[in-house]
A and B are shown apart, each in its own frame.
Chain A
């Protein structure tokens, strides 16, 4: 008994040691800060500390729901993220399939880099790129409109255009990253499948429909589940910086994150902003559980857990 324990220890020790840095990283960065969840339920008083502060129950959460904007910001957050997930996924899969059809390795590298580049840009830079297109007097789009004899549009005061602008910008920015993931999984498909299929006289479209898509389904589902977990968060830069924080656009661009930022920037209340974070993570967690449960029902081998 003792000997076998020793034997096991010796055998697996290196693996545990290899695990240690990653485990510590997760523990320090992801698990210990979870204790901070307490702050959301406290009436923070720095002189008493986190644990010593008085409990406030759910009072810190009130402001998220007791506002006429509550419906609008929740709707905006969910609908935008839904549109982002779908648009990015569809575009990324199309790009990945197209890239996989290119034989020249150099060309693939080139396109991949070009697609990935926007993903590396900071949202602040993106906001100025967008501004150079949309500015009222000097913008590129208005220049084009004028050239064709149309009237200039004051983009930053017309909320009706912004759902489209934001979806396009987000898609442009994130599509490269997803493309790389899908491409990797397409390239991982066993070549024998194609050979067997071509013996049966398969067309290109059929190949995509019956071989590629089913083979990358697990990747699609995993990415979908991960994205659903973040559906209650919004990219702050995209919704605050890109519309230049224009008041006239707020009906179309205010999300939970920007609402919390605007509301608390002057109050500086840590507990209330924590409450928003808790609310978002909680809903995200429940949504992942739900989505995973649904996945399990319909194709159990693809579920996350």
Chain B
């Protein structure tokens, strides 16, 4: 017995030593941080030209961690950087499969990263102290970039402070029907004449008549339900189920599932399902929509539409699709701020990092390098006048030394246009973004800190009912009512009250 106690004590002591070891490490890092802040004082020479060649590490996800042209791309960027500051860049590409883990590891272990890509927004990182408040630095070192994205930057603010810049991507999408062109032609439907959801249903009816063996609709993704996108432009969701309606003044926060709009929608979903427009087992669908399309027995889906949708679906499924937009796009905070570059709080040279961020938003050459790689080896200009480029002879998508996606680089719209895309693609994207109706709460981001307990319970209730209702499988009156009562029991009212208070405060401070 005594021996056991001894060994137990020994283990505890070892554990304690291990812990204090960790603690010591932490405080060292803090010292380092203080030093970094110290160098920012104004009486010293410009932090961008301090004579030290800082290596700025930029972390973002990609398909390959060391593409063939990596060195050349970095050199190209370094050349541009040398005009602005004493720094070089190190592009640290993490493969998609490990990106999330590597990212959280880098952030929590305080590695010296200049710019970190995030596809989850900066809200949680700001709350955890992992992202740096760069509001003041932006005004000094990124004034041009800030001006360029002034329309959207509000979405990236947390408590009125800037933590990162959004990359250029589609900030919104029109909602509507994406369906097979061949069948549409066979039915003789003119897509331009389809304006409302009733018109869409008329198409479904025809499909059902002509092709009774075919599934009319598959789900667009695993979380929205077959019909979910029909209403997703009608509200701005602050957190699960807590929304403000687009057709209201935006000052009241309500429970989405307790609104008349949602109840009507649930009834419609149930009717449409009963008419056989939904593929079987749609709530437990195991494949992606592209696979259902490619399999050939699915007519289409209801989802988001942006200028690249038709090309993207053709690439992924081999099926030619037509897009029919019904709902007008809306601009909400979370759609803009989800893809951002932020400066981690452990960055030792935030001034240089912010300057690099500025260049990524404003510099055409950097964007071309990061998107397409090196001219001559990875792409060649095919049409000088229209800025159109393509693969050099003998190079294709599998052998090219560099590939990247628009939403992962700073501002792709400054760069060239790939030959397979429409020549006006950037204008189309800009037009989509600029034509979006901003939500009344655009720029507001909800801090969930006080209601986490309720959110976990509410999230569970939602995952129990949402898909079933939005695919029209359940008797709408009964199911929506029991969902609402379970949400009440889970404490959704407390979240609504809390959100309402924050919204009121946000309005009064504006």
Interface residues of A (CB under 8 A from B): 27, 31-32, 34-35, 38, 44-52, 62-63, 66-69, 128, 131, 135-137, 154, 156-157, 244-248, 250-251, 254, 259-260, 262-269, 272
B37 CB contacts on chain A under 8 angstroms:
none
Q: A35-B18, A35-B22, A62-B453 are in contact. Are A263 and B460 (CB under 8 A)?
A: yes
* B286 contact from A46, A63, A131, A266, Cβ within 8 A: A131
Interface residues of B (CB under 8 A from A): 11, 14-15, 18-19, 22-23, 26, 29, 107-108, 120, 124, 128-130, 239-240, 280-281, 283-284, 286, 345, 448, 452-453, 455-457, 459-460, 463-468, 473-474, 486, 489-491
A244 CB contacts on chain B under 8 angstroms:
284, 286
Shortest Cβ distance from B458 into A: residue: A263
B124 CB to closest chain A CB (Å) equals 6
List 10 interface pairs A-B (beta carbons < 8 Å), by A numbering: A50-B22, A63-B453, A63-B457, A67-B460, A68-B489, A69-B460, A244-B286, A248-B464, A248-B473, A267-B452
B456 CB contacts on chain A under 8 angstroms:
63, 67, 259-260, 262-264, 267, 272
B357 CB to closest chain A CB (Å) equals 20
* A32 contact from B18, B240, B453, B467, Cβ within 8 A: B18
Q: A51-B19, A68-B486 are in contact. Are A272 and B452 (CB under 8 A)?
A: yes
* Bound-state Cα–Cα, A255 to B239, Å: 23
* Bound-state Cα–Cα, A52 to B128, Å: 13
B473 CB contacts on chain A under 8 angstroms:
157, 248
* Bound-state Cα–Cα, A265 to B120, Å: 12
Contact yes or no, B26 A49, CB < 8 A: yes
* Bound-state Cα–Cα, A156 to B284, Å: 7
Shortest Cβ distance from A49 into B: residue: B26
Contact yes or no, B26 A67, CB < 8 A: no
* A51 contact from B14, B22, B345, Cβ within 8 A: B22
A204 CB to closest chain B CB (Å) equals 44
> Which of A51, A131, A136 has the most CB atoms of chain B within a 10 A radius of its CB?
A51
A290 CB to closest chain B CB (Å) equals 19
A34 CB contacts on chain B under 8 angstroms:
15
Contact yes or no, B22 A262, CB < 8 A: no
* Bound-state Cα–Cα, A246 to B464, Å: 7
Contact yes or no, A45 B129, CB < 8 A: yes
Shortest Cβ distance from A32 into B: residue: B18
Shortest Cβ distance from B124 into A: residue: A268
Shortest Cβ distance from A157 into B: residue: B473
A5 CB to closest chain B CB (Å) equals 18
Shortest Cβ distance from B127 into A: residue: A45
Contact yes or no, B468 A248, CB < 8 A: yes
Contact yes or no, B463 A250, CB < 8 A: yes
Contact yes or no, A269 B18, CB < 8 A: no
Contact yes or no, B490 A67, CB < 8 A: yes
A266 CB contacts on chain B under 8 angstroms:
239-240, 455, 459
